[in-house]
Structure 1
Amino acid sequence: MGTVLDSHFLALTAIVTVVYQFIFFVITALFKIDQVTDFAGSTNFVILALLTLILKSTWHFRQVNCLDFACCGMGTSLGDFSSNEAVWVWTVSLPLTVVNAASDGGGSLKPADIIGWTMWVFGFLIEAAADQQKLSFKNSPENRGKWCDVGVWKYSRHPNYFGEILLWWGIFVAASPVLEGAEYLVIFGPLFLTLLLIFVSGIPLLEASSDKKHGNSGAYRFYKKTTSPLIPLPRGVYGNLPGWCKAVFLLELPFYSRNLPEEAAVS
């Protein structure tokens, strides 16, 4: 198909992303405000989606639907406002860029479209529920100083990240009908996001913060031992699994517990 390379969409989206993030970097540096980080990262997704769709102007249903998904989901901020933000936005947007670069939107709808859209909706609902439940929990005075363990947080210590990962993999699956040959390398988009949240700036940072705050609490250690770090599971199931199974299949990585007291390490 060669749509991305022929239309120079990769170069264009990269330039737009770098310029856009640099503008907000300057704003942050001049006015000493970090609140624009989330806004810059989220809106950058929408700008790239709109730009590539308008330039191609084919307006296939697959393209418009994926644009709607990008506008609704918009992504999770890294919390590190630097060149990483530009790399993150551009890389994760790759599947959407390919869809919009396709001259006919990839032709008729395929089963992969339905599967991908279903994954996106499921991921979006989980993330939205997690964010709303955590906000309500934190806004209650009686919960001050406690960790959130209500709603979907009963089944995952980071359900919002699970939802975010799932919805971007859904976009990749929905984009797969337009991919040919080297274009399958856009799988690096959702893969990059997944690895980032699991190993770098997502779960590890939040686990370390929570362990330092609550690590001496027996109730917290019980919560951590019986609650999956990412993939939602009933506590009765997860809590009774052997440690090797949690580590290999459910991402209970040893460094998630390095800030717990030694005798309290999750097994």
Structure 2
Amino acid sequence: MGTVIDSHFLGLTAIITVGYQLLFFIITALLKFDKVTDFAGSTNFIILAILTLVVKGSWHFRQIILSLLVIVWGLRLALFLLMRILQWGEDRRFDEMRGNLGKLAIFWIFQAVWVWTVSLPVTVVNASDRKPSLEAVDVIGWIMWSIGFSIEAAADQQKLTFKNMSENRGKWCNVGLWKYTRHPNYFGEILLWWGIFVASTPALEGAEWLVIIGPIFLTMLLLFVSGIPLLEESADKKYGNVDAYRLYKRKTSPLVPLPQVVYGNLPSWFKTIFLFEFPLYSRHLPQETPNW
């Protein structure tokens, strides 16, 4: 078992990830400084991509390209999130954690699991000795990554610009890509990581296909745990009594970009099955009272 773990860099990347996140956990716990949280997560992906390439020594074009895709994504996200938190101040996610070491530790453990799991496709490909030639799925995966990356980057910038305008204080973002989906940045992130998995498949064999748990884990995380549900709850509490917000939410897809005129006329079952519109996203929305 130890040989299998070492040969696929699973043990190495686990140790590095735990150590790196532990370092930032100590900084956060001792100094009550949580501005580096997202920076620690995104840069960890970069470290794993570079480390697995360096340790392997002999590089194939697929390994180099997949690693570069992760590095570009990680650098963009790290710089953007660091700039945003320095601009906005404290991270509100930690309001209930700063004085609770247990909750803080659970958060950092979960972040380590997130980094290690989502990195699996690149980790295993970089550890592989197989060098299959370029295939159509490579190009498909790169295209998926490019579209997802562009959507995520554009959505982040549009929201930041919107929030920085004084006339938009107290409003929810509904411009640009945010007119077509309530969470375009999450759609982009899910798409790009599925793209990385697709582009990794020519080098996978046997049990290595289990790296699919990486994009599955990310998707489930954003759909049901720390992504959309938390943001929907926060927005519902802030704007739930505003008619314009309720209309925006009813006509705008939660994840998959669609024109409002299209989404608003789709049946509920279709939205739930194909567009990820789950009842839990509206459980904190105040119930409408009949206009009698």
Instruction: State if a TM-score over 0.5 links the two structures.
Output: yes
Deviation at 1:82, TM superposition (A): 1.6
Q: Distance in 2 between matches of 1:4 and 1:180?
A: 14
Task: Report the equivalent of 1:149.
Answer: 174
Query: Does residue 128 of structure 2 align to residue 95 of structure 1?
Result: no
Equivalent position of 2:44 in the other structure: 44
Amino acid corresponding to residue 63 of structure 1 in structure 2: Q
- Determine if contact 1:207/1:256 at 8 Å carries over to the other structure: yes
Query: Which range is displaced more, 223-232 or 95-104?
Result: 95-104
Distance 1:25 1:4 in 2: 30
Does the 8 Å contact 1:127/1:164 carry over to 2?
yes
Tell me by how many angstroms 1:185 deviates: 0.4
Matched position secondary structure for 2:139: helix
Aligned match of 1:12: 12
Displacement of 1:163 after TM fit?
0.3
Q: Structure 1 residue 61: deviation in Å?
A: 1.2
Residue of structure 2 in register with 1:258 after alignment: 283
Change (3 A) 1:27 1:239: same
Aligned length: 260
> Does 2:161 align with 1:136?
yes
Give deviations 1:46-81, integer Å, cap 9, x for gaps. Answer: 10001100111122111111111111112699x674
Alpha-carbon distance between aligned partners in 1 of 2:268 and 2:212, rounded to the nearest angstrom = 30
Give 2:271's aligned amino acid: K
- Aligned counterpart in structure 2 of residue 84 of structure 1, from 97, 105, 110: 110
Matches within 5 A, 1:1-267: 5=5, 7-74=7-74, 81-104=107-130, 106-263=131-288
User: In the superposition, relative to structure 1, how do residues 8 and 59 fare at CA in structure 2: closer, same or farther (>3 Å)?
Assistant: closer
Which letter does structure 1 place at the counterpart of 2:183?
Answer: H
Do 1:119 and 1:167's aligned partners in 2 also have CA atoms closer than 8 Å?
yes
Distance 1:164 1:52 in 2: 22
| Structure 1 contact 4–101 (Cα < 8 Å) conserved | no
Shift in CA distance, 97/218, structure 1 to aligned 2, threshold 3 Å: same
Please state how far the C-alpha of 1:4 moved relative to its aligned partner: 6.3
Q: Give TM-score scaled by structure 1 length.
A: 0.94
Query: In 1, are the aligned partners of 2:147 and 2:192 still within 8 Å (CA)?
Result: yes
Aligned partners of 1:4 and 1:102 also within 8 Å: no
Segment drifting more, 6-15 vs 164-173: 6-15
Instruction: State the 1:127 CA deviation.
Output: 0.2
In structure 2, do the counterparts of structure 1 residues 113 and 4 end up closer, same or farther at CA, with 3 Å as the change threshold?
A: farther
Tell me which moved more, 37-46 or 60-69.
Answer: 60-69
Distance 1:4 1:101, change over 3 A: farther
Q: Secondary structure of the residue that 1:262 maps to in structure 2?
A: coil
1:8 to partner: Cα distance: 4.8
CA distance in structure 2 between the partners assigned to 1:181 and 1:39 by the alignment: 34
How far is the alpha carbon of 1:107 from its aligned partner?
2.4
- Paired with 2:238 and 2:250, the residues of 1 have a C-alpha distance of 16
Please tell me whether the aligned partners of residues 21 and 86 of structure 1 are also in contact (alpha carbons under 8 angstroms). yes
Distance 1:49 1:201 in 2: 24
1:263, distance to aligned residue in structure 2 (A): 2.1
Shift of 1:6: 5.7
Tell me if the contact between 1:95 and 1:172 (Cα under 8 Å) persists in the aligned partners: yes
CA contact (8 A) 2:45 2:115 kept: yes
Give the drift of 1:5: 4.0
Q: Per the alignment, in what secondary structure is the counterpart of residue 256 of structure 1?
A: helix
Instruction: State the Cα RMSD in Å.
Output: 1.6
Q: Deviations over 1:80-139 (max 9, x none)?
A: 7420000000000000001101124x3211111100000000000000000000000000
| 8 A Cα contact 2:125 2:203, kept in partner | yes
Q: Percent identity, aligned pairs only? A: 67
CA distance in 2, matches of 1:216, 1:50: 48
Q: Which amino acid aligns with 2:25?
A: F
